[in-house]
Structure 1
Amino acid sequence: MEKPSSYCQAVSLMEAGNVHTHYHDKEYGFPIDDDNELFARLVLEINQAGLSWTTILKKKDNFFRAFDDFNIQKVARYSDKKVEKLMQDAGIIRNRLKIDAAIENAKRILQIQKEFGSFKNWLDAHHPLSKEEWVKLFKRTFRFTGGEIVGEFLLSTGYLPGAHINTCPVYKTVLKSKPAWVRKKS
């Protein structure tokens, strides 16, 4: 089988109904307005580092349960006891650096919300930036955010183009949702 050149082609070569199909067709590249959902996507991207996206998608429901549906205020208040509970949870990625990053990033998003009103407003205020500029901004602002993590976060939430190729059946649906990369900066 020929190696797919995009996530769209890879998903089309997989069996229908696998964990990638819903994500590709309903989530990947679509804008997210809710701060808790944006935070969830960031944490999931951080947890993917060094692992396959399939692993993360299979554990996605467990992550939401373990991290209180990614309620930013709750995660920002996690105690050492909660961290130890997470470290024992086989349903998620048990990596202390990634868990600590989720907690610290929740605290930083709370600060962003105070200054900008929301995490989404902060993202919109910095759009459009090049991928390199986004990476520098995220590295200054958040923990555990390298180039791949930031790039995938921004692709998956509609801030950078390229989540879907123009021949992908989902491409036009994504365009109708008006992701940030198709909007002009006001």
Structure 2
Amino acid sequence: MNWYCDVAPGHPLHGPYHDTEYGVPVTDETVLFERLCLEVFQAGLSWLLVLKKRPALNAAFDGFVVDRVAAFDDADRARLLADAGIIRNRRKIDAVIENARRVQALRDSHGGFAAWIAAHHPRDLAAWVKLFRATFRFAGPEVVNEFLMSIGILPGAHRDDCPVQGRILAQAPPWSRVGSG
């Protein structure tokens, strides 16, 4: 098995992401939405390309603030499709905008994106994929698996002997506390 832990050390883009973000549990809506969007953009491409384009994607999508992206219109779509600094795939761009609107809806139905995830945790990958496909656009098995590993829901982000895995396991998991007041 190829592990991200073997690729990342010392790499200027993979290293910091591996060491500080990948597999680390998060509940912040903007961070969750950005991670989902980055996984959508990664589909069929390399993670290194996404990491290289991440600053431009953040700028183009207003920091992945859900309410801002949900308000994007046809002029924003045209602007995004003309932006050579980002991954210009119409289906992916449309999915990101629509998914922002769906995250807004999760606020009403569950109290937010993190609370929605917590309400359905734990599940196996197949059940997560079914749920994500019913809720979001462009949510295939690879997107869902990588998203959920990246936010600490599914195991497999790090080898057991990876120092980052040790730090993650030493933290109290936030998912049981989401939405509990």
| Same-fold status (TM-score > 0.5) | yes
CA distance in 2, matches of 1:140, 1:9: 34
The Cα offsets for residues 79-120 of structure 1, whole Å up to 9 and x where unpaired, read as 100100000111110000000000110111100011111100
Given the superposition, is the C-alpha separation of residues 98 and 53 from structure 1 closer, same or farther in structure 2, using an over 3 Å criterion? same
**What residue ranges of structure 2 are gaps of 5+ in the alignment?**
none
2:87 pairs with 1:93 = yes
Kindly report which structure 2 residues correspond to 1:99-118, keeping only aligned pairs within 5 A, or say none.
99-118=93-112
CA distance in 1, matches of 2:170, 2:74: 44
Alignment partner, residue 10 of structure 1: 7
Alignment partner, residue 175 of structure 1: 169
| 8 Å contact from structure 2 (residues 7, 14) kept in 1 | no
The Cα offsets for residues 46-98 of structure 1, whole Å up to 9 and x where unpaired, read as 00011100000011111111000001011111010010000011111000000
CA distance in 2, matches of 1:101, 1:177: 33
Cα RMSD after superposing both structures: 1.7
2:156 pairs with 1:159 = no
**What residue ranges of structure 1 are gaps of 5+ in the alignment?**
none
Count of residue correspondences: 178
Paired AA for residue 143 in structure 2: I
| 8 Å contact from structure 1 (residues 41, 153) kept in 2 | yes
TM-score (structure 2 length as normaliser): 0.93
Alignment partner, residue 60 of structure 1: 54
How big is the shift at 1:163?
0.5
Alignment partner, residue 27 of structure 2: 33
How big is the shift at 1:180?
6.2
TM-score (structure 1 length as normaliser): 0.91
